[in-house]
Every structure is written in structure tokens, then in C-alpha cells.
Amino acid sequence: MPEESIDHIDFDDLNRRAVSQPIVSHIYTADPSAHVFNGRIYIYPSHDVESNIPFDDLGSHFAMEDYHVISMDSPSSNAVDNGVALHVKEVPWADKQMWAPDAAEKDGTYYLFFPAKAHDGIFRIGVATSSSPTGPFIPQPEPIKESFSIDPAVFKDDDGHYYMYFGGIWGGQLQRWRTGEYKDGEGPLMYLPENDEPALCGKIARLTDDLLEFAEAPKDVVITDESGNPLLAGDNDRRFFEASWMHKHNGKYYFSYSTGDTHFLCYGIGDTPYGPFKYGGRILNPVVGWTSHHSICQFWGKWYLFYHDSSLSKGVTHLRSVKVTELVHDEHGHIQTIDPYLK
Ligand code: FUB
């Protein structure tokens, strides 16, 4: 698929109509994973950089090298960039492409979970630890055993168990693992299911007590339609592509994700962390830029959507900026769809 044309966009007008502005503008940030630790908001984003690598469907132009942690006293206050928290050169197993990370806290230790391509070109997921939410983080020497693909999102349930959701298709390589082992080959579209087959699923694995490994083999995160049937691969407006997130509201589990090439953020609702998740609707309509990726976080009783777009870079796909806006669950538990730009 060719990169979408942005020639027709009047960015001054778009920025006037945007429901929120970038929280920082001195660097490009994306894929925000927001958490409240000790009463402050900490955002763990990708740090987008210009690589001069041409756009392709594998995402080769997303050539990020490090992570910065951004902190805020509240969603409307100034955002502070706390500097480099981890660089790819410090991670023995990782070669390149430090994509969307997440973080968790347990017993005063902070864990940064991140995907990167290993030296063999295969995406794995690593962990690094720190005594501070802003790092610096010390990486484990090896990636998580049996980990693969991208976009880790770690959820702590009320019973103290931690779960990792992960996976992304096309450049995220999830489709290459359909048989349980990595299959090589050209192009991102090999090994995808046919349109009338069940869609590929994101994955979930409970973490070990030290949060450094999977406690179980990863399982499918199944999203179902109104009749309880798994969404099909051809259901491009609703099926999973990448960018998993989990939040819990009124005892229900909300699995949210990006539909990738159709550019929606959607969600499904389930009764356990494992699902299945009945498709619930759209959270965010398409933003400027190919990707959409988010997190959902509660602060002082209100819910917020952290997301990104490419408005600051005037539409450059791989130069994105994190934004935040309020998110509302209605009285039936449905999430009200957000338009990123007013009409
Ligand atoms: O930032 C690189 C990739 O773009 C992420 O891993 C995806 O979720 C998409 O946002």
C-alpha cells in the first residue's frame, strides 16, 4: 500500500481543529503508554527520529534508537522530558528499531518492556529495570524467552497478577509465527490468513512474579462479533492489527487496539483478562499519519486517551507527536468515539 497523500491537507487549519496539541514539540514522540505512579503521570513513548529510510510496508522507516520518559503532574500541565532512559546500544541482544514500549511498577522497581529487532532481524521483547520511573533502565542481557513480535502492553490486575498483551501484523511479524515458529520470506503480506479465515489475534501471557519472563505460553486474544464468532481477517475495519492496550472499568476488561491499515482505534469488552472480547466500537477516528497507537489511563477520577498524530511534522508518517484528550465511558459502558479534529 502506498503512503497516503497529504498534499491536500491545510495543516494550519487542521491544527486549529485538533482536539489537543502535542504534549512536547522539541522531539517527536509516539505510541504513548501512560501510567500513574506515585500520583504523577509517566508516559513511555517511542522516540521518533528521521532515518532517511524510505517508507515501506515493513515499517523500516521507523528506525528509533532510544526511549525518553515524559512526566506530567496532570493531563493539562507541562510535560517534562526526562532524557534518555535506555539506548539500543546498551541492549546486548538488540540491533535496531526500538518500537512501542510499556512500563510497570512492582515493589518499588520500575520495568520497561520494549520490542526491538535482534541481530537476526526478528522482533523480540525485552525488559529493563530501574529504581526510578524515569530510568535510566538496565536491560536484561537476553529478551524474554519465547517472546516475539511487537507492542508489549503490561496490565496489572486487581489480584496482583501482571499480563503482557503484544503483537502486530505486517512489519510487526505476527503473521510469520502462525505455525509457532518464525517463517522468513519477502514482504509483510506473506502468511496472512485469507479474508474468510479468522483474523490473526494479538497475544497474552501472564508474567512471572519477577516480571522478567512469561509464566505461560502466549495465548490468542480473541475478538468476537455480535454473534460471538471470531472476527474474520477480511473485516479490516474491526480486526486486530497492532497496539494492544488493556484497562479495567466497572469490573469489565477493555482490550483496545489499532486496525492498522484502516487507521481506527477500537475496543472489545470481556469478563477476564484473557477474553474473549466482544467488539465494542471505535475509540478514535483516523489521525493524520499512517499509524494510530494509544493508551488509556485514569487520573483523578477521569479517563484519558493518550494517542499520537503526525500534525507537527506536517504529515510525515514516522515523525509523530503524543497528545492527550479525555475519554468517556457512557452509562452502558461503551466508549464514546473521539474525532481527533473538529469538523
Ligand atoms: O512506532 C512503531 C510502530 O508504529 C508501533 O510499534 C506500532 O504500534 C505503530 O504505532
Would you call 31 a catalytic residue per the annotation? yes
Mean pLDDT along residues 205-222 = 98
Which ligand 1 atom sits nearest the alpha carbon of residue 292?
A: 10
Per the CB < 8 A criterion, the answer to whether 310 and 293 are in contact is no
Per the CB < 8 A criterion, the answer to whether 306 and 283 are in contact is no
Task: Return the amino acid letter for 14.
Answer: L
**Is 271 inside a domain boundary?**
yes
Binding site membership of 242 for ligand 1 (Cβ less than 6 Å): yes
pLDDT at 187: 84
Mean pLDDT along residues 112-139 = 98
**Is 335 inside a domain boundary?**
no
Per the CB < 8 A criterion, the answer to whether 31 and 90 are in contact is no
pLDDT score of 121 more than 70 = yes
Binding site membership of 48 for ligand 1 (Cβ less than 6 Å): no
**Is 334 inside a domain boundary?**
no
176-192 tens-digit pLDDT: 999 999 999 888 889 99
pLDDT at 162: 99
Ligand 1 centre distance from Cα of residue 332 (Å): 31
Question: Taking the CB of residue 327, how many other CB atoms lie within 10 A of it?
Answer: 22
**Is 67 inside a domain boundary?**
yes
Binding site membership of 155 for ligand 1 (Cβ less than 6 Å): no
Work out the mean pLDDT of the chain and round it to a whole number: 96
**What residue numbers bound the domain in which 303 lies?**
3-327
Task: Return the amino acid letter for 5.
Answer: S
End-to-end CA distance of the chain: 27
Catalytic-labelled residue, pool 4, 31, 142, 225: 31
pLDDT at 8: 83
Q: Read off the CATH number of the domain in which 64 is found.
A: 2.115.10.20
Which ligand 1 atom sits nearest the alpha carbon of residue 308?
A: 10
Which ligand 1 atom sits nearest the alpha carbon of residue 243?
A: 8
Question: Taking the CB of residue 225, how many other CB atoms lie within 10 A of it?
Answer: 14
List C-alpha distances in Å: 142 to 93, 123, 209.
6, 13, 18
pLDDT at 5: 67
What are the backbone angles phi and psi of residue 262, rounded to the nearest 5°? -105, -5
What region does 309 belong to: left with phi over 0, alpha with psi -120 to 50, or beta? beta
pLDDT above 70 covers a percentage of the chain that reads: 99
Bond before 276 cis per omega within 30 degrees: yes
Ligand 1 centre distance from Cα of residue 248 (Å): 23
**Is 85 inside a domain boundary?**
yes
**Is 213 inside a domain boundary?**
yes
**Is 337 inside a domain boundary?**
no
CA distance 51 to 316: 12
- Domain count for the chain, please give it: 1
Query: Ligand 1: which of 3, 31, 64, 165 to mutate, judged by most atoms within 8 Å of the beta carbon?
Result: 31
pLDDT score of 64 more than 60 = yes
C-alpha cell at 126: 525485552
pLDDT score of 142 more than 60 = yes
pLDDT score of 88 more than 50 = yes
Catalytic-labelled residue, pool 48, 102, 151, 242: 242
**Is 336 inside a domain boundary?**
no
pLDDT at 3: 57
Would you call 184 a catalytic residue per the annotation? no
Query: Going by CA atoms, what residue is nearest to atom 8 of ligand 1?
Result: 243
pLDDT at 1: 41
Mean pLDDT along residues 314-342 = 97
Helix ranges (H only) for the chain are 11-17
Ligand 1 centre distance from Cα of residue 160 (Å): 28
Mean pLDDT along residues 244-262 = 98
Ligand 1 centre distance from Cα of residue 163 (Å): 20
